[in-house]
Chain A
Amino acid sequence: MISELLQFLFSGLTVGAMYALAALGYALIYNASHIVNFAQGEFIMLGAMTATAFVEAGCGLPLAISLAIAISVLAGIGMERLAIRPARGAPLVTLLIITLGVALVIRGAVQVTLGKGNHMLPAFSGDAPIHLGGATMVPQSLWVLGISVLVVVLLAWYFGRTVSGKAMLATSHNRLAAELVGISTQRVLLASFALSGGLGAIGGVITAPITFTSYDAGVVLGLKGFAAAALGGIGSGPGAIVGGLLLGVIESLAAGYVSAPYKDAVAFILILLVLMFMPRGLFGAKVTERV
C-alpha cells in the first residue's frame, strides 16, 4: 500500500519537475514582457534533439549538452531579435501569435534537419533502478529533481542578488517605472528570451533519457508547462515550481488510483476548479483595482 503510493509519488515528482521547468520558462518571459511564449515547448524539444544529434555524431555527453544549451540560448536570442523586437509595440495578441509562428518555424527546422525519427539520450548515470521502500526509480529521476532544484536556487540568486536580475524583476513590476530609473527594458527582454531558451534546453536535456524525444515532442510539453504555469499563477517563480510538481503528482495519482485514460481530464478539471476560485493561480500577483 505504502510502496504503491511511494511509486506514484516518484513518478509524479519526476514528471512534475519536467512540467515545472517548462512553466519557469513561461514565467521568465511573461515577467519581462507579459507575452505568453508558446514556443517554450519547442526550446525544450530543440535542446533535447540537438543534444541527441551531437551524441549520435560522436560527441561526448557533456560537450553535446553544452552545445545544445548554447544553441537554444541562440534560438531564444534570435527569436527576440528577429521576431519579437520588430513587432515592438504591437498588441499582446499579435505577439502571442508571433510566438506560435516561431514555434512552427523551430519545429519545421528540426524536422527538416534532424529528421522525423524518435531519439534517446543516454542516461547520465546508467539505467539500473534504485529501490526505495518497495518502489523503484531510475537514477535519471534524481538528476531531473536535483537539477530542477539547482536551477530554482540559481534563479533565486539571480533575481535576488544580481543587478541584471533585479532589473528584470523591476521591469516585471512596472515597465515604465523601470525605464524611468534607467533600466534598459529592451536588454531585459533579450536576456529573458536567452534565459528561457537555455532553461528549456536544460529541461529537454535532463528529461530526454526518460521521455525520448522527437521533432514534435515540444507540443505536449509546452501545453503541460503552460497548464502548470497557469495553475501556479503565471509569472510567479514559486508558482511555476509548485504548479508543475502538483500537476505531475495529480496525474500520477489519478492514473494509479482512478483510471489512466482519465488522468489528463482529472488534472485539467482540478486546474479549472483552482482557477475558478483563484483566477490568478495559486501564487499569482494580487491585483487591486483603484477606484
Chain B
Amino acid sequence: MFHHSLRQLVLPLACLIAGAACAQGEPIRVGAVLSVTGPVGFIGDPQQKTLELHVKRLNDQGGLLGRKVVLTVYDDQSDPNNANTFAKRLVESDKVDVLLGGTVSPPALAMVPYAERAGVPFVSTGGSLALVDPVKKWVFKTPHSDRMVAERILQDMKERGIQQIALLTETSGFGQSGKKEVHAAAAKFGITVVGEESYGPKDTDITPQLTRLRGLQGAQAMLIFCGAGTSPAMAIKNYAQMGLKLPVYMPHAAVNQEFIKLGGAATEGVRMPTTGFVVPEALPASDPQKAPSLDYYRSYKEAYKQDASPFGGNVADALAIAVDGIRRAGSTDRAKVRDAIESTNGLVGLNGIFTMSGTDHNGLKPESLRIVEVRSGRFELVK
C-alpha cells in the first residue's frame, strides 16, 4: 500500500524533472515464460535474446501508446510444470498485461489452462495444433502447426508424383503428432504409408529401424518426422551410412544451420517446408517478408555478435502480434486486447502474414510455407 502511493507520488515528480523523455503513465507489462535452459535451451535462449532486443527497440522508438514497455522473463528449464507456475506468477505478482512464450509445445500447453482461467491474452510459440484447435478464447500462436507442415510435405510429394512413402517418426510429442497428421492427411493427397518405424530423440544409432525400412518394397520417398536438436542430424547420418538413396523429407524443425553442421554431406538433398524467414537471401526482392527477415538477422547479430536462430522468429512474431493488438485496442484492457488480437489483419510477421479470426487463432496460410532443399551446405528454395 505504502509503496504504491509512494510510487504514485514519485513518478510524476520524476516525469517533471526528466521532461518529455519520460513516457506517460504506468508501463505496459509483457511477461514471457521461456525454456532458456534444459533440453530445449538452445531454442529458448535465442528467444529470450530476441525478446529483450525487440522490447528495447520498441522503447527506443518511444514505447507503446506513449508508455514504456517492461519485459519480465522466467526460465521454466524446459519443464512444463514450471511453465504453469511462472505463468501464474507473471499474472498475479508481476501484473503483466499479456503473456508470451512457452518455448515449445509442452510448456505452452501447460500455460493454456491458467491463461484461460485468468483471462489473459496469451500468444504462444508452441508448434502443436492443440494450442488453437479447438479455438481457445485467450490463446493464440505464431508458428505453423504440425498439420500444416505435414500437409505441405505431402502436397510437395504429390506434385512430384510420389505415391508410396516410408515413415520414420521421433517418439517425442512433436514427432508423434506429426505422425498422426501424416496418417490423417495422406489419403487426401493419394499417398500410402507402406511402412513405419520410430526412434527416440536421444538415440545414438537408428540403423536397426532403417534396416527394416530399407527392406520395404515400393517406397518412393522417406519422411523423417523429427523434432529439433541432434535427432534430425542423427537420422540423416545413419540414413546415408546405410546407403539409402530415396529422397528424404523432414519437417521445419530440422531447418537450422546446426543440422547442416552436424549432418555434413549427408544432409544434401533433404527437402523440408519452412517459412521464407529462414532463408531470406533466397527470397525475391518483391517478397514482403524479405526486408523484415534480413533486418531481424542483422539487428540480432549487431546486438549479440552471434547468428540469430530461426526459432527466435516465433517469439518476435508473438511480441509483434501482442504489440499490434495493444496498439489497436488503444489500452491494456485484457478483453479489448484479446478482441484486437483476434482481428489481426495482414500483419507482416517473420513466419508469414497473420490474418486471424474467431475460428483461426494462428492466422497463417499454408502458402507461407515454402519447400527448401539442402544444396552445397545451404538451404535453397525449390520451385
For A4, give its contact among B211, B261, B265 (CB under 8 Å).
B211
Closest to B258 in A: A118
The verdict on A255 contacting B209 (CB below 8 Å), with A116-B45, A117-B42, A118-B42 known, is: yes
- Give min CB distance, B257 to chain A, whole Å: 10
- As a 0/1 sequence over residues 195 to 229 of chain B, the CB contacts with chain A under 8 angstroms (1 = contact) are 00111101011011101100100000000000001
Contact A261 B205 (CB under 8 A): no
Contact A118 B207 (CB under 8 A): no
- As a 0/1 sequence over residues 109 to 125 of chain B, the CB contacts with chain A under 8 angstroms (1 = contact) are 00000000000000000
For A7, give its contact among B204, B208, B261 (CB under 8 Å).
B208
User: Is A216 an interface position by the 8 A CB rule?
Assistant: yes
- As a 0/1 sequence over residues 96 to 140 of chain A, the CB contacts with chain B under 8 angstroms (1 = contact) are 000000000000000100001111100000010101000111100
Complex: A119 Cα to B262 Cα, angstroms = 7
Contact A120 B262 (CB under 8 A): yes
Closest to A10 in B: B207
Contact B265 A127 (CB under 8 A): yes
The verdict on A256 contacting B204 (CB below 8 Å), with A116-B41, A118-B258, A212-B233 known, is: no
Contact A214 B230 (CB under 8 A): yes
Complex: A207 Cα to B205 Cα, angstroms = 11
With a cutoff of 8 Å between Cβ atoms, the chain A residues found around residue B258 in the complex are 117-118
With a cutoff of 8 Å between Cβ atoms, the chain B residues found around residue A8 in the complex are 207-208, 211
Contact B204 A15 (CB under 8 A): yes
Complex: A29 Cα to B208 Cα, angstroms = 34
For A116, give its contact among B37, B207, B211, B265 (CB under 8 Å).
B37
With a cutoff of 8 Å between Cβ atoms, the chain B residues found around residue A138 in the complex are 241
User: Is A94 an interface position by the 8 A CB rule?
Assistant: no
With a cutoff of 8 Å between Cβ atoms, the chain B residues found around residue A214 in the complex are 230
Complex: A138 Cα to B262 Cα, angstroms = 15
Contact A118 B262 (CB under 8 A): yes
User: Is B19 an interface position by the 8 A CB rule?
Assistant: no
Complex: A253 Cα to B258 Cα, angstroms = 30
For A129, give its contact among B37, B200, B241 (CB under 8 Å).
B241
User: Is A40 an interface position by the 8 A CB rule?
Assistant: no
The verdict on A129 contacting B243 (CB below 8 Å), with A7-B208, A118-B229, A214-B230 known, is: yes
Interface of chain A, helix or strand or loop or mixed? Answer: helix
Contact A118 B264 (CB under 8 A): no
The verdict on A216 contacting B39 (CB below 8 Å), with A7-B211, A260-B197, A261-B200 known, is: yes
- Give min CB distance, B171 to chain A, whole Å: 5
With a cutoff of 8 Å between Cβ atoms, the chain A residues found around residue B233 in the complex are 118, 120, 212
Contact residues on A (Cβ < 8 Å of other chain), bracket: 35 or more
The verdict on A11 contacting B202 (CB below 8 Å), with A120-B261, A129-B241 known, is: no
Complex: A216 Cα to B230 Cα, angstroms = 12
With a cutoff of 8 Å between Cβ atoms, the chain A residues found around residue B237 in the complex are 127
- Give min CB distance, B338 to chain A, whole Å: 34
- Give min CB distance, B168 to chain A, whole Å: 9
The verdict on A137 contacting B241 (CB below 8 Å), with A15-B204, A15-B205 known, is: yes
Closest to A18 in B: B204
User: Is A210 an interface position by the 8 A CB rule?
Assistant: yes
- Give min CB distance, B235 to chain A, whole Å: 12
Beta-carbon contacts under 8 Å, A1-56 to B: 4, 7-8, 10-11, 14-15, 18
- Give min CB distance, B314 to chain A, whole Å: 18
Chosen A-B contacts, 14 in total, with CB atoms closer than 8 Å, are A8-B211, A18-B204, A118-B262, A119-B262, A120-B262, A127-B240, A127-B265, A136-B207, A212-B262, A214-B230, A252-B208, A256-B209, A260-B199, A260-B208
7 A-B pairs with the lowest CB-CB distances in the bound complex, closest first: A256-B208, A211-B204, A255-B208, A11-B207, A116-B41, A212-B230, A7-B211
Q: Which residues of B contact A (CB under 8 A)?
A: 37, 39, 41-42, 45, 171, 197-200, 202, 204-205, 207-209, 211-212, 215, 229-230, 233-234, 237, 240-243, 258, 261-262, 264-266
Given contacts A116-B45, A118-B229, A256-B208, 8 further A-B contacts (CB under 8 A): A8-B207, A117-B42, A120-B262, A127-B237, A131-B243, A210-B205, A211-B204, A256-B211
